[in-house]
A and B are shown apart, each in its own frame.
Chain A
Amino acid sequence: ILNVEQSPQSLHVQEGDSTNFTCSFPSSNFYALHWYRWETAKSPEALFVMTLNGDEKKKGRISATLNTKEGYSYLYIKGSQPEDSATYLCAPSNTGNQFYFGTGTSLTVIP
């Protein structure tokens, strides 16, 4: 079982603030890193899938980076909006295609 850690556990920011979260995972047997956005009472929504060390992905105001050698990924949100309020999950997968989810970072953006 992979030990996946996400920090912080929760975060409250003001509208317009930029913020970032961390996902740490064991680097051995790494295959891919998935980021999801999960709103209450909905299903997880895929944000990014990254596989290569140094990968950077961007979708609107949200971006992510990946360091497979040291086993971490950062998710950045620029100019947070109330609609960004959600839990952000990371899930690394290994070469055996097994997925291990972190417990998530709960983001609340205060208008």
Chain B
Amino acid sequence: DSGVTQTPKHLITATGQRVTLRCSPRSGDLSVYWYQQSLDQGLQFLIQYYNGEERAKGNILERFSAQQFPDLHSELNLSSLELGDSALYFCASSVEAGYEQYFGPGTRLTVT
């Protein structure tokens, strides 16, 4: 158990809908990272937050957004969902950039 929690574990929704994925980092970690793993692609970095502020952006679509709250939990919002958004979404946390990242169990999103 990495100490990072993600909810929900599974999510099934229809195209055009909006969902929110939630992540609670390990105690003491200030950085949160979001990753997407699609069937046909490897792990893709989406976005990083540090202590409430956006630190780095990767291949995140404009339909996706994220935020980190004062209690350091983070949410990834996915809107206008398309079939291609079906993927495993991981959250990871670390003390700071350049330190080991601890991955949560992931949220499996299926868009039908």
Contact = CB atoms under 8 A, between A and B. Distances in A.
B103 A49 contact: no
B98 A46 contact: no
B45 A43 contact: no
Given A44-B90, A98-B57, A99-B33, A49 B98 contact: yes
A99 B57 CA distance: 9
B25 interface: no
A51 B42 contact: no
B36 to A, nearest CB: 11
A46 B45 contact: no
Contacts of B57: 98
A32 B57 CA distance: 16
Contact of B102 (A31, A46, A91, A93): A46
Q: How extensive is the interface on chain A, given as a class? A: 20 to 34
B48 interface: yes
Interface residues of B, number: 24
A99 B104 CA distance: 17
B92, B98, B102, B106 — which one has the most chain A CB atoms within 10 A of its CB? B98
Contacts of B99: 49
A44 to B, nearest CB: 5
Interface of A: 1, 31-32, 34, 43-46, 49, 51, 89, 91, 93, 96-104
Given A49-B100, A93-B97, 15 more contacts: A34-B101, A43-B103, A44-B92, A45-B103, A49-B99, A51-B98, A97-B55, A97-B56, A97-B97, A99-B33, A99-B45, A99-B58, A101-B43, A101-B45, A104-B42
Interface of B: 2, 33, 42-45, 48, 55-59, 90, 92, 97-106
